[in-house]
Structure 1
Amino acid sequence: MPADLVTSIIAGVPLPTLIVDRDERVKAMNASAAAMFGAAGTGRHYVTVLRQPALLDCVEEALRLRQARKARYLTTDLAREATYDVIASPLGSDGGQGVVVVFTDITEREQMGQIRRDFVANVSHELKTPLTALLGFIETLKGPAREDAAARERFLEIMGREAERMNRLVSDLLSLSRVEAEERMRPEKRVDVAALLRSSVQALRPLAVDSRVEMVLEGAEGAVHVLGDADQLTQVFHNLIENGIKYGGTGGVLRVEMTESPRELAFRGPGVRIDVIDRGEGFDPVHIPRLTERFYRVDSHRSREMGGTGLGLAIVKHIVNRHRGRFRIDSEPGKGSTFSVMLPVA
């Protein structure tokens, strides 16, 4: 087959593709393959172009045995690590005209598989701790503490806390699942975000009083309408304000501010911004990119003691995304933290 015809054919293949002829040289490659291995590879021995041992073995066996062979190709460029499934298939009626090597990018599939494995491992770990505690206390109540009324009351109180922790975890997992399923469907109802914010602050004021935190709400006097899901936006405000009371309450004051903007830069149009500002300990900004990951915590021990599940900010991120908004976190050790939600105004 003429070289120019071969080049034309593989140029139309959407996957990185190259051809190694019977002389073991790279006869042709399309643009995607040239981007991976360099256009100068055409005409060179395939060993000097492909290089990875697993890939070389795949091509060598396909040439020698005249049978299709598969391999896994791993590469790293400036942007990311990539994984490819590689198939080397013989060419010609007798398989003696060389092989065509096709690369299929499976990076996203591999990443999703890893995310699922990490998620299962994290859920198992989060459930195992309270379950172990419950089983231990039940065993103790059946045996040594059977007749000890004081110990029984203390153990039952701890068991109640651990059971409540599991209940919160399951509730947050179900909530996260629902939010992710609806993330691509933008809400169509007009809701008053100011009224939702006032309601959330009022509902959490007893928790602030118990934690000796002064809660100040500003800018939410009038009505501000957005296209939104009232229940989900309420969940966002509850999560952020409750976190501010629990983890930023050491500063004694929690400010909740709402600001309207006729031209919010995030949307290039009118928007509303809700800031939850605490004067607590703050944290190193190095944690910010990962705070919305499932089960990621700045201080795991303290978070569990406070009853946190590690899913709250992940839920907030997905809800804000569904509303086509923006979510921003700013913090500095010793200077408190600011959690900001920006929503487009209807």
Structure 2
Amino acid sequence: MGEKWRQRLPQIRRQVRRERLLLLLLTLVGLIALVSGVAWVPVVLAWALLVIVVLLRKPDDATAPVPVVVEEDVLNYDPLPPIAATLGAYDTPGFVLANDASVLFQNRAAEVAFGSLPFGSHLTARIRSPGILDMVRDAITSDEPDQLEHSERLPSERVFIARIAPIPVVEPEGMSISADRRKLYLLSFRDISELRRLDRMRSDFVANASHELRTPLASLRGFIETLQGPAKGDPAAQERFLSIMLEQATRMSRLVDDLMSLSRLELKSHIAPDQRIDLKPVLSHVRDALLPLSDDLGVEIRMHLPQEPVEVLGDRDELVQVFENLIENACKYGQDGKVVDVHLKGGGDEPAEVIVTDRGPGIPSEHVPRLTERFYRVSVADSRSKKGTGLGLAIVKHILTRHRARLIVRSQVGEGSEFTVRF
């Protein structure tokens, strides 16, 4: 019985604070009655009865704190549900752990990333990394946050920043928290796989660009030194070397131009163009611009265009660059077939397609998936002999990504290649 009244004391104190003015008024009235000569026994009984009524009275204001607290809630307040509700809204994998590293909650992102764990299971049932388990154990022991970088190899390579930190648990007034809920910890995983991939791409890009520029620069330096030395008085050698130097300088200029194009495209890759462009005049313009090259190579460019316009949302200059790259490549690398066919299809309710087909030697299947990578070449010697920079198809891919279009490559060795741009 004494324990029951001890538990109700916080409620009684709150009610006294809330009704202190009324209680003071009742006490004052009782004192006045006593001073006036009224018998003290009925005055005290009446005063006590009124005080009890006041203390048990429910507040009129709906916004006032509810004075009645269920005894079970007072003893067993659980801080886990609000923490779980908040963590459940996050798209970052997260676990709520008890002080023995058992899993009290995991959000949907954690289930997708690591699989589902039954309530109360130990963390080792799903995560076997010694580094993470050591970090969790040390954090629980020291009650300090910690983090490390964690890699997953299967089913695919992923990199996470794993972090554990204690969750501040505040005991509400008049309530107590069980011992197993006083210490909770949040183990979260931030996926940085894409950042790592971009870092590798950036490093590879810088290395490849440096290599591509180093070769013509070394060639220029060698010829300049030769012209200043042994060939200083040889007009024939000077003319030959200057011609080669001009070719190397032109190659570097093309490479720098392509690098600048890629940089510009990356800056606005998230902005889709909104102009309506008719592809028929675009393709006709590209054919006219490439006629001198095709004549030199002995290749005929055949256009297969419909009668009606075929419009897409796009940027005219960028689309010209796309089709110049594709048709120029078809002329250079498929010149043995002597013919390049360009088909324009679609329009109206059908998706627009531009198909560039050559009858050259074709591309081995293992190279096809990597054709749009920067500086990737099926044959380095063949590409450089045709004055390629290794960036043409990478530029095509970036432009088409901005246009929400796809590049589809089909090729068989000995049967030529087909490049399809589908909007």
Answer yes or no: same fold by TM over 0.5: yes
CA separation of 1:248 and 1:2: change in aligned 2, threshold 3 A:
farther
* Partners of 1:194 and 1:221 within 8 A in 2: no
Q: Does 1:303 align with 2:415?
A: no
Maintained 8 Å contact 1:278/1:336: yes
Q: Which moved more, 1:34-43 or 1:204-213?
A: 34-43
The structure with more strand, counted as a fraction of residues:
1
Check the 8 A contact 2:93/2:109 in 1, yes or no. yes
Contact persistence 2:103–2:117 (CA under 8 A) = no
**Structure 2 CA distance, aligned partners of 1:180 and 1:310?**
17
- Deviation at 1:112? 2.0
* Cα distance in 1 for residues equivalent to 2:268 and 2:108: 38
Counterpart pick for 1:144 among 218, 230, 235 = 230
Following TM superposition, by how much is the alpha carbon of 1:193 offset from its aligned partner in structure 2, in angstroms?
Answer: 1.7
In structure 2, C-alpha distance between the alignment counterparts of 1:186 and 1:18, rounded to whole Å: 39
* Range with bigger deviation, 174-183 or 63-72: 174-183
Q: Name which of 405, 412, 418 aligns with 1:325.
A: 405
Seen in structure 2, the aligned counterparts of structure 1 residues 32 and 154 have a Cα distance that, compared at 3 Å, is: same
- 3-state DSSP of counterpart to 1:286: coil
Is 1:18 equivalent to 2:98 in the alignment? no
Provide the C-alpha distance between the structure 2 equivalents of 1:33 and 1:4, rounded to a whole number of angstroms.
Answer: 22
- Structure 1: how far apart are the matches of 2:77 and 2:357? 67
1:158 to 244, 257, 263: 244
Give 1:188's match in structure 2, choosing from 274, 279, 285: 274
The alignment partner of 2:230 has SS state of coil
1:155: Cα distance to partner? Answer: 1.8
Q: Distance in 2 between matches of 1:307 and 1:194?
A: 28
Q: Of the candidates 147, 159, 180, which is equivalent to residue 83 of structure 1?
A: 159
- Aligned with 1:72 (options 122, 139, 149): 149
Assess, with a 3 A threshold, how the Cα gap between structure 1 residues 179 and 100 changes in structure 2: closer, same or farther.
closer
Correspondence for 2:6: none
Measured in 2, the distance between the counterparts of 1:140 and 1:246 equals 33
CA distance 1:250–1:90, change in 2 (3 Å): same
Amino acid at match of 1:237: F
What amino acid maps onto 2:152 in structure 1?
T
1:6 aligns with 2:80: yes
Higher mean displacement: 282-291 or 39-48: 39-48
Residue deviations 1:154-187 (CA, integer Å, cap 9, x gap): 2212211111111001111112222333333333
Query: Relative to structure 1, is the Cα distance of residues 207 and 222 closer, same or farther in structure 2, using a 3 angstrom cutoff?
Result: farther
Report the CA distance shift for 1:203/1:156 in structure 2 as closer, same or farther (over 3 A). Answer: same
Query: What TM-score, normalized by structure 2, do the two folds share?
Result: 0.72
1:43 maps to what in 2? Answer: 120
**Which stretch has the larger CA shift, 182-191 or 323-332?**
182-191
CA change 1:4–1:119 in 2 (3 A) is farther
Provide the identity percentage: 42
Q: Is the 8 A contact 2:373 2:394 kept in 1?
A: yes
Of residues 297-306 and 37-46 in structure 1, the stretch that sits farther from structure 2 once superposed is 37-46
Q: CA deviation at 1:323?
A: 2.9
**d(CA) in 2 for partners of 1:165 and 1:114?**
26
| Counterpart in the other structure of 2:10 | none
CA contact (8 A) 1:7 1:30 kept: no
Deviation at 1:49, TM superposition (A): 3.6
Contact 1:130-1:162 within 8 A present in 2 as well: yes
CA contact (8 A) 1:63 1:98 kept: no
Once the two structures are TM-superposed, the CA of residue 48 in structure 1 deviates from its matched residue by 4.5
Q: Is 1:126 aligned to residue 212 of structure 2?
A: yes
Return the letter of the residue paired with 1:18. F
Write out aligned runs for 1:1-346 (5 A).
5-6=79-80, 9-13=83-87, 14=90, 15-40=92-117, 42-78=119-155, 80-91=156-167, 97=183, 99-219=185-305, 223-262=309-348, 269-343=349-423
Deviation at 1:226, TM superposition (A): 3.2
List 4+ stretches of structure 1 deviating above 6 A: 1-4
What is the root-mean-square deviation of aligned Cα atoms in Å?
Answer: 2.7
Question: Cα distance, 1:71 vs. partner?
Answer: 1.0
Gaps (5+ residues) in structure 1?
263-268
1:126-181 C-alpha deviation (Å, 9 max, x unpaired): 11111121122222222222223332222212211111111001111112222333
Structure 1 residue 120 displacement after superposition? 1.5
- CA deviation after TM superposition for structure 1 residue 321, in Å: 2.9
CA distance in 2, matches of 1:251, 1:236: 22
Q: Deviations over 1:291-319 (max 9, x none)?
A: 12222221122112211111111222222
Larger radius of gyration: 2
Q: Distance in 2 between matches of 1:92 and 1:191?
A: 59
